[in-house]
Amino acid sequence: MINRSILAFLLLIPLLISGCAALQPFPTAARAGDTISLVTGWKHEFSRDKITVTITPSSGSPIVYQPNDPHVRAVINLYADPASYMAVGWETNRISPEYKYGATYGSVASYRYTNNDPDWWQTAVIIDLPPDLPIGMTEISITSSGGMSESYGPVPLEILEGTGEPNPFKVESLTSGLSEPQLQTLERAPLQEISLTSDVIPYAVQIDMHHDLDMDNDGVGGAQVVNPRGDIKNVSWKDDGESLRVMVMPTKNKVLKDMVRFKFYVSGGVENLNIVDTKAYDIDGNEVSGVTAIIK
């Protein structure tokens, strides 16, 4: 059985991503010592080793959870269903009532919050509240050392009477619940984003990269290429332990809407990744000049 609070996260995602970033914790009231979730918006620099959580009660001094504090249980990116009305409606421009006006809400997410980046997510921060919080209103805010522009809050949380307890995140096969390492395996692994820029949008792109030897060749890590939107583009790749080639092209015979849609990720811990060559082609197979790949 999936934990009820995680299920609630998933149910909230389509609503939250189509409007403004969450302005309230979920739930909006809890007991001191309970586990709560904060759905914080489209965050790129939120991770347990970067964020500082400040809890300011109605009386007394603020409580601060520094980066890697064990009371911050996990920082997890949650995604809208790619077959949701919003995702499909946005890609097919369906604004009709039978499609829940999906294109309308998708345009809010894309134009207002992600600058046309189709990799939509909401970052959920799961924290254990201090056990000695006084009854009444408390404010919670989060800042990240990875980027001053990335912050959340302050948002209000009502502390109720009673003694709370951390959520064990029980699952069907583990009566004791998920351990901290198990819960944290849901977090995003270190990665490098490969983006492309060009004045003319090509049909297909080939990017050749090089990295230090991987662990199968007495080095470190192992390349893993991740396509954030498999419904709009195909990403084919091969790696021989130090040379990585990636091919990107649309899933249908039509040029992608925007250059940001070509982006993909390289994860797996390979070191010193660099771009060797970039080739781009139009829909007729002719080479296109001026396309540049960038590692972020």
- Read off the pLDDT of residues 159-212 as tens digits, 9 standing for 90 and up: 999 999 998 888 777 777 788 888 899 999 999 999 999 999 999 999 999 999
* The domain over range 4-79+121-184 is classified in CATH as 1.10.238.10: no
- Say if CB 271 and CB 212 are below 8 A apart: yes
Task: Provide the token pair at 193.
Answer: 């984003």
Band (pLDDT 50/70/90 cuts) for residue 9 is very low
- State how far the Cα of 148 lies from the Cα of 223, in Å rounded to an integer: 30
Mean pLDDT of 145-149: 76
Where, residue-wise, is CATH 2.60.40.680 in the chain?
A: 191-295
At residue 184, the pLDDT reads: 92
Beta partners for 184? none
Phi, psi of 123 (to 5 degrees): -90, 120
Band (pLDDT 50/70/90 cuts) for residue 8 is very low
Q: What is the pTM of this model?
A: 0.87
Buried b (16+ CB within 10 A) or exposed e, 225-246: bbbbbeebbebebebebbebbb
Name, in order, each residue with C-beta under 8 angstroms of 286's C-beta and a sequence gap of 6 or more: none
Query: Element (H or E) spanning 158, and its range?
Result: strand 151-163
Task: Provide the token pair at 19.
Answer: 């409007």
Averaged pLDDT of the chain: 90
By C-alpha distance, which of 37, 50, 244 is closest to 147?
Answer: 50
> pLDDT for 109-134, tens place per residue?
999 889 999 999 999 999 999 999 99
Reduced to 3 states, what is the DSSP secondary structure of residue 264?
Answer: strand
Strands 292-295 and 191-197: antiparallel
Level-2 CATH architecture, domain 191-295: Sandwich (2.60)
Phi, psi of 140 (to 5 degrees): -125, 135
For the chain, how far is it from start to end, CA to CA, in angstroms? 38
Looking at the chain, list the stretches that DSSP marks H as alpha helix, in order from N- to C-terminal side.
4-18, 85-92, 102-107, 180-184
Where, residue-wise, is CATH 2.60.40.10 in the chain?
A: 4-79+121-184
